[in-house]
Amino acid sequence: MSDEQVKMINLTIDGVRVSVPEGTTIMQAAETIGIYIPRLCYHPNLSLMGSCRVCIVDVKEMGYYMTSCSVHVWEGMEVETNSPEIRLARRDIVELLLDNHSMDCQTCERDSNCELQNLAYSMGVRERLFEGKRKCFEIEDHGSAVVRNSNKCILCGRCYRVCSEVQGVHNLGQQGRGFNTIVSPAHVADMDESVCIQCGQCVNVCPVAAFLEKGETEQVFAALGDPGKHVVIQTAPSIRAAIGEGFGMPPGTPAEGKMITALRRLGFDKVFDTDLGADMTIVEESAELLRRLDGKGPLPMFTSCSPGWISFLEKFYPALIPNASTCRSPMSMLSALTKTYYAQKAGIDPRNIFMVAAMPCTAKKYERRRPEHVMDGSPLTDAVVTTRELIWMIKSYGIDFANLPDGKFDAPLGISTGAGDIFGITGGVMEATLRTACERLTNAPCDKLDYTEVRGVQGAREATVKIGEHRLNIGVANGLVNAKILLDKVLSGEKQFHIIEIMACPGGCSGGGGQPYPPRGWRILDPRLLELRGNALYSIDKAKTLRRSHENPAVKTIYAEFLGDINGPMAHKLLHTSYTAKEPRGIK
């Protein structure tokens, strides 16, 4: 549409004349002149709700205050965002939100990172005028990944909107009425008994601490303090691109070296790289793809790294389970290798190894508890901490992260290629697969390294990639509502794909449910933030000499010394898994 066709609307906001396209909301119009209207339930990635009333403004000629998030501008409109009356009304609204709130900031995980707390402060709430009845609901912390505390909930509805509109899971909803309203799964069921896929996006978008990851830092500290334990940590690709945000570094700053040093100072005996697990995944997965392309197994093949996606597959699309790669995730592969290959090499009883995984993900907490990832009675991974938890651990040790010298990952599970790094952003697994599959399919070296057609953080992408005489139809999706678009095409037979990468979270692991709450001035799920984190990973990849997983010398050694053949019996036992339909069955 050309500029002439857009009708411009002229209005004044706080006395400033502004001209914006028709259909702009008051809130958006105010932002164009640098006025940030306070808000709570509003989120640009989600549908409008207008329930919190925090963003009210005074519109001359109207007899009542209007919510600026939902009202479109009109010609000649006169808006006041900060008159004494509107400031008082807005503060009253926030005070009423607080009247039955727990107000236990000092012992709350969100302290200093809470939108309600920030809002109350900036509205000038300095005393508790309305002392209401406190909520007294049972805290649901029986699950493996997500904890629900409805006492802190302010019913803004962001969690159930993200669950339905971004993830298509529809697990959360308002239950009951009036004062007894809570947000929970059907029947107020425990998360693990519901259709929850443990992605943690409810935790991400919650402005307070009504949803949190299940904390595992205490187990990790206990293991670190146990002289009988050999405590090993592995770190996921995307963490190095996000962890710096927790220490005041600008978003998109790679912080791999400082992170490794911080982990050493926390006392971990070995710091391994999940990127190596990612390289192993590519080697196994591309061999599996070749077998499937050879007619041995259904097409398309789905990637299997994202445990939220795997849970979604089992609950919502069980008919397509045979299409999922049987590869364990990079985390579980690396844990399996640590407790077998590394234990043997280092002469350590695997029962004395405590394997910690630092992940951008809440669903990894669920994955580690799955019976498929338990070997000889003990879990492959003993604890999973999110990026947020790791940041907190480092802070609680008083480590000056930003000024740490760079460290390096430990042998023998610390070498990785650029292909492993880009696992942390949507499209990365596909790109890494293509780099290896290209050489395997053509039996010749391939020059192409950057498959830009699969990059970007848009929801669902389709492309056809030419490799030798092969034309591979590929699909990439992040956010499960987008995955549904591709999955429904597979189910209906509308399009013949060869390989589809699916990441449960928006932006892939960069937008995982365990990533840092964004720094001030940024909002969660902001595509620009996810892109910055992704760019950090692409820059790490670009700087590496080795950018194809199968060229990783550590990978070659592991096969030569320990595993034998790619996709061989030993590799199958340690690096592959299986899936089954799960109930309750999800409703799309």
Do residues 108 and 209 lie in contact, with contact meaning Cβ atoms separated by under 8 Å? yes
502 binding other proteins? (CB under 8 A):
no
- The full 3-state SS of 483-503, as one line of letters, equals HHHHHHHHHHCCCCCCEEEEE
138 binds other proteins (CB under 8 A): no
Range list of β-strands (E), 511-588:
none
Q: Which stretch binds other proteins (CB under 8 A): 6-14, 314-322, 498-506, 551-559?
A: 314-322
> Considering only residues 320, 437, 555, 563, which one is a binding residue for other proteins as defined by CB under 8 A?
320
Q: Which of the ranges 68-76, 300-308, 317-325, 466-474 carries the binding residues for other proteins, by CB under 8 A?
A: 317-325
Helix (H) or strand (E) holding 478: strand 470-478
Check residue 495 for interaction with other proteins (CB under 8 A): no
Least spacing, CB of residue 492 vs other proteins, in Å: 7
What is the C-alpha separation between 182 and 174, in angstroms, rounded? Answer: 6
Nearest 5°: the CA angle 392, 237, 448 is 160
Euclidean distance between CA atoms 552 and 559, whole angstroms: 11
Is residue 41 flagged as an active site residue?
no
Sequence-ordered alpha helix ranges (H) in 413-510 = 418-421, 428-442, 480-492
Indicate if 416 belongs to the active site. Answer: no
Q: Is 509 a catalytic residue?
A: yes
**How many CA atoms, within 13 angstroms, populate the side-chain half-sphere of residue 368?**
26
Out of 195, 223, 233, 502, the only residue in the binding site for other proteins (CB under 8 A) is 195
Note whether 164 binds other proteins by CB under 8 A. Answer: yes
Nearer to other proteins, 168 or 418 (CB): 168
213 has catalytic annotation: no
Among 76, 322, 553, 569, binds other proteins (CB under 8 A): 322
Site string for other proteins, 452-491 (x = CB under 8 A): --------------------------------------xx
Catalytic pick among 367, 431, 501, 531: 367
Contact 473, 462 (CB under 8 A): yes
186 belongs to the binding site for other proteins (CB under 8 A) = yes
Q: Does 37 bind other proteins (CB under 8 A)?
A: no
Rounded to whole angstroms, the Cα distance separating 447 from 260 reads 32
E-assigned strand segments in 317-377: 353-359, 374-375
Which one of 114, 156, 199, 305 is the catalytic residue?
305
How many other C-beta atoms are found inside a 10 Å radius of the C-beta of residue 443?
7
At residue 230, φ and ψ (nearest 5 deg) are: -100, 105
Between 103 and 299, CB nearer to other proteins: 299
Amino acid identity, position 537? L
Dihedral sign (CA 59, 62, 65, 70):
negative
Binding span for other proteins by CB under 8 A among 101-109, 148-156, 398-406, 575-583: 575-583
The answer to whether 367 is a known catalytic residue is: yes
Known catalytic membership, residue 364: yes
318 contributes a contact to other proteins by CB under 8 A? yes
Residue 200 Cβ vs other proteins, minimum distance, rounded to whole Å: 17
Report how far residue 393's alpha carbon sits from residue 208's, in angstroms, rounded to the nearest whole number: 21
Q: Which tokens is 348 given?
A: 């350590």
Strands (E) in 337-411, as ranges, are 353-359, 374-375, 378-379, 383-386
Q: Quick check: 224 binds other proteins (CB under 8 A)?
A: no
Containing 387, the helix (H) or strand (E) segment is: helix 387-396
Question: Residue 319, interface with other proteins (CB under 8 A)?
Answer: yes
Contact string 274-313 vs other proteins (x = CB under 8 A): ----------------------------------------
Stretch that binds other proteins, among 55-63, 75-83, 167-175, 461-469 (CB under 8 A): 167-175
* Residues catalogued as catalytic: 285, 288, 305, 325, 364, 367, 372, 509
Residue ranges that bind other proteins, judged by CB under 8 A: 160, 164, 170-177, 184-187, 195, 318-322, 490-493, 579-581, 583-585, 587-588
